[in-house]
Amino acid sequence: MIAKNSEMISSNSEKIDGNSKAILSLENRMEKLENYSVIMSVYQKVDPKYLKESIDSILNQTYKTNEFIIIKDGPLLEVQNDLLTEYSKKY
């Protein structure tokens, strides 16, 4: 039983190491990217609080975007439109 548990721990450690390598590899590729875009869809039922949090999260990423596209998926509430207008003037 002890041998099986130690094999499982060893196997899980290899998986974690493999995942860490994959994450580092992705980070290295992201650093080399010169241009990339983020596209976000917004619809009426999105709470403006969460819309603001989502936009701020994208704008404050470690890897800066060159293009951030927000698609209005149908009519929005006035407060949502005002928020998007505020961001479009700021950026």
Query: For 41-52, what is the mean pLDDT?
Result: 92
30 Cβ neighbours under 8 A, 6+ residues apart? 63
| Rounded CA separation 2/39 (Å) | 50
> At residue 69, does pLDDT exceed 80?
yes
For residue 61, the SS3 value is coil
Between 91 and 1, whose confidence is greater?
Answer: 91
Confidence of residue 25 (pLDDT cuts 50, 70, 90): low
Q: What is the mean pLDDT of the chain?
A: 78
CB 68 within 8 A of CB 58: yes
Residue 26 banded pLDDT, cuts 50, 70, 90: low
Tell me the average pLDDT across 59-63. Answer: 85
DSSP 17: H
